[in-house]
């Protein structure tokens, strides 16, 4: 069952009902479409709250809803089921944000630079400025589909972009002076965040959070921890923390949660509040002033 998101902002249709029915493939995109669309757009997510988006499976009913949606927003290469459903149903308006997000390999190399990498890191939304670029793309698409509410979409997008730019400023200042620069994480979801703010990421697992780390990789992580004076291993709410907790216990360090925001687990939060909680967790772990 598709879960409808709460909408806010300007642009309600004249009869008080939303003008458009939009589907986003996972939470950060849902957040953007909700913020830009305001009252004129009813937004649902293909990935239910608290579900792991990497392994999304779609029922026939959900595929039918996708075909009927006014707008489908997704990031190709992240969720194979969503990619296949878009190709199968060919919705009239399907927005693939992967190009605007400028996806890179997990080592930070640009995939558009002839690097030879084939596996993209999809977690662009952990860089607020990349999400701001996607916000502008969503605004332009909604305005083309529904020009009657274009001014409201523009106003809402400008407000969200300001919030994202402020978030970027908070991260830049908050992580400027830290005793450590290396973060050890459950899986390599934080490459864009690390690249933007001058951090080094070491993942127990790679891009796929369900991949079981080989003993050699665990040994390498242990060497990174000891060599970089790491005090914290970051776990996630949607990933089994057992391996991370075992490594932390063996080395006498702590664990803490760093949310990759692939799905929203607490309905009382949103993208901005979770990102600020992540900043606090990073500052504590890295010994930032």
Angle between helices 215-227 and 242-251 (to 10 degrees): 50
What is the side-by-side order of every strand in the sheet holding 200-205? 200-205, 182-187, 232-235, 254-257
The pLDDT value recorded for residue 9 is 41
Exposed / middle / buried, residue 217 (Cβ in 10 Å: 0-12, 13-18, 19+): middle
Q: Bin 6: left if φ > 0, else alpha if -120 < ψ < 50, else beta.
A: beta
Domain layout of the chain by residue ranges: 3-167, 175-286
Domains 3-167 and 175-286 share a fold: yes
The fold of the 175-286 domain, in CATH, is: Rossmann fold (3.40.50)
b or e along 176-214 (b: 16 or more beta carbons within 10 Å of the residue's beta carbon)? eebebebbbbbbbbbbbbbbbbebebbbbbebebeeebe
| H-run or E-run covering 74 | strand 71-74
b or e along 72-81 (b: 16 or more beta carbons within 10 Å of the residue's beta carbon)? bbbbbbbbeb
The pLDDT value recorded for residue 217 is 94
The pLDDT value recorded for residue 19 is 83
CA torsion, points 199, 214, 122, 224, in degrees to nearest 10?
Answer: 0
The pLDDT value recorded for residue 224 is 97
Exposed / middle / buried, residue 265 (Cβ in 10 Å: 0-12, 13-18, 19+): middle
Domain 3-167 CATH class label: alpha beta
The per-residue pLDDT string of the chain (289 residues; one tens digit each, 9 = 90 and over) reads: 333 333 334 445 555 678 899 999 999 999 999 999 999 999 999 999 888 898 899 999 999 999 999 999 999 999 999 999 999 999 999 999 999 999 887 655 554 433 333 468 999 999 999 999 999 999 999 999 999 999 999 999 999 999 999 999 999 999 999 999 999 999 999 999 999 999 999 999 988 887 888 999 999 999 999 999 999 999 998 888 999 999 999 999 999 999 999 999 888 999 999 999 999 999 999 999 9
The pLDDT value recorded for residue 237 is 85
The pLDDT value recorded for residue 15 is 53
CA angle 276, 41, 96 (to 5 degrees): 70
């Amino acid at each position: 069952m598709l879960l409808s998101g709460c909408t806010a902002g300007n642009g309600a249709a004249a009869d008080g009902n939303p003008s458009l029915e939009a589907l986003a493939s996972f939470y950060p995109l849902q957040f953007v479409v909700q913020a830009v669309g305001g009252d004129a757009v009813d937004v649902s997510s293909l990935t239910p709250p608290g579900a792991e988006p990497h392994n999304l499976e779609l029922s026939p009913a959900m595929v039918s809803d996708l075909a009927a949606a006014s707008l489908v927003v997704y990031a190709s290469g992240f969720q194979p089921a969503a990619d296949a459903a878009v190709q199968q149903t060919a919705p009239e308006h399907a927005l693939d944000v992967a190009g605007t997000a400028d996806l890179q390999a997990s080592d930070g190399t640009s995939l558009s630079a002839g690097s030879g990498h084939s596996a993209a890191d999809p977690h662009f939304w952990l860089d607020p400025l990349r999400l701001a670029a996607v916000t502008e793309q969503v605004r332009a698409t909604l305005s083309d589909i529904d020009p009657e509410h274009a001014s409201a979409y523009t106003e809402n997008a400008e407000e969200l972009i300001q919030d994202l730019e402020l978030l970027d400023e908070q991260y830049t200042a908050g992580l400027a002076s830290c005793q450590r620069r290396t973060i050890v994480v459950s899986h390599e979801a934080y490459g864009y965040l690390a690249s933007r703010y001058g951090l080094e990421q070491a993942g127990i697992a790679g891009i796929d959070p369900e991949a079981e780390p080989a003993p050699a990789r665990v040994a390498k992580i242990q060497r990174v921890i000891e060599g970089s004076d790491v005090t914290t291993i970051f776990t996630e709410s949607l990933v089994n923390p057992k391996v991370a907790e075992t490594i932390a216990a063996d080395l006498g360090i702590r664990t803490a949660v760093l949310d990759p925001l692939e799905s929203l687990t607490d309905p009382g939060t949103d993208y901005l509040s979770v990102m600020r909680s992540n900043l606090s967790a990073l500052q504590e772990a890295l010994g930032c002033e």
